[in-house]
Amino acid sequence: MSDASRRSPRRSSIAADDASAAPSTAGERLPELLRRVAQRDRRAFEQLYAATSAKLYGTVLRILKERGRADDVVQEAYVTIWQKAAQFDTGRASPIAWMVAIARHAAIDELRRQPRAPHEPEEALAHTPADEPSAREHLEHEQDAKRLHACLEALEAERRDMVRLAYLDGWSRADLATHFEQPVNTVKTWLHRALKQLKGCLAP
């Protein structure tokens, strides 16, 4: 957090809504906003929402595909963020990654409770640019993103697709099994191999 932004946190532009904003601007503000939210500062909460809601909503809507359900889940996620802000630990995750994780898990829980209509797999895959991370929102440092993408490229194509469809679109093992025409257990084995390969590839 720079001195300037601490003095005037509202001055910073809101990256989520403004493609021209340097991502680091919001990235640097978020820990301070979360700290204030932990002290039950409602204005800070509104600023945090303004800076992050498009990212969380995009994440959740991509999994649930329906605005009504996404509204409910994102509401639940922000209530959780309000309640748990005091537990956020900068040493363990970046603020946006922590918040996205809360929203993603809520979306996947919702989807597992009530699966949506059958998938449109072609559309889901078409959604996924291979190596064109959005310029607006960087969840992680560029370098981490490059490493992960390089490691994903090293996976067999089907396994890479499985990882993407699961993480980004919320597909279950059964969804993957249907689409890839494999038994569920085979899908599980493939996922485990892919995850282990990724872990090995990403290890320092």
Partner 1 sequence: MTDHDDIDMLAAEYVLGTLDAEERAEVAQRRQHDADMEARILAWEARLAPLGNEVEAIAPGPDLLERIERRIDELEATFQTKSKSEDDTHGATQVIALRRRLGFWRGCTGLATAAALILAVVMIAPFDDTPDAPPFVAVFQQDDQQPAFMLSVDLDSRRLNVRPVTAKPLPDRSYQLWIKAEALGPKPRSVGVLNDDLSLPADALSDYDSELLKRATFGISIEPPGGSPTGQPTGSAIHGYLYPTDRDAVSQHL
In the range 86-105, which residues lie near partner 1 by CB under 8 A? 86-87, 89, 92-94, 97, 100-101, 104-105
CB of 71 to partner 1, least distance (A): 6
Of 33, 34, 64, 108, the one binding partner 1 by CB under 8 A: 108
By CB under 8 A, name the one of 172, 178, 186, 197 that touches partner 1.
172
Binding to partner 1 (CB under 8 A) within 174-193 occurs at 176, 188, 191-192
Residue 166 sits at φ, ψ, to 5 deg, of -70, -50
Which DSSP category does 118 fall into? P
| C-beta closer to partner 1: residue 2 or 75 | 75
DSSP string, 120-140: -HHHHHHT--SS---SS--SS
Residues 127 and 62 sit within 8 Å (Cβ to Cβ) = yes
Segment 126-132 long-range contacts (CB within 8 Å, at least 24 positions apart): 127/62, 127/168, 127/169, 128/164, 128/168
Judged by CB under 8 A, the number of residues near partner 1 is 76
Binding window for partner 1 (CB under 8 A); candidates: 5-13, 24-32, 118-126, 138-146 = 138-146
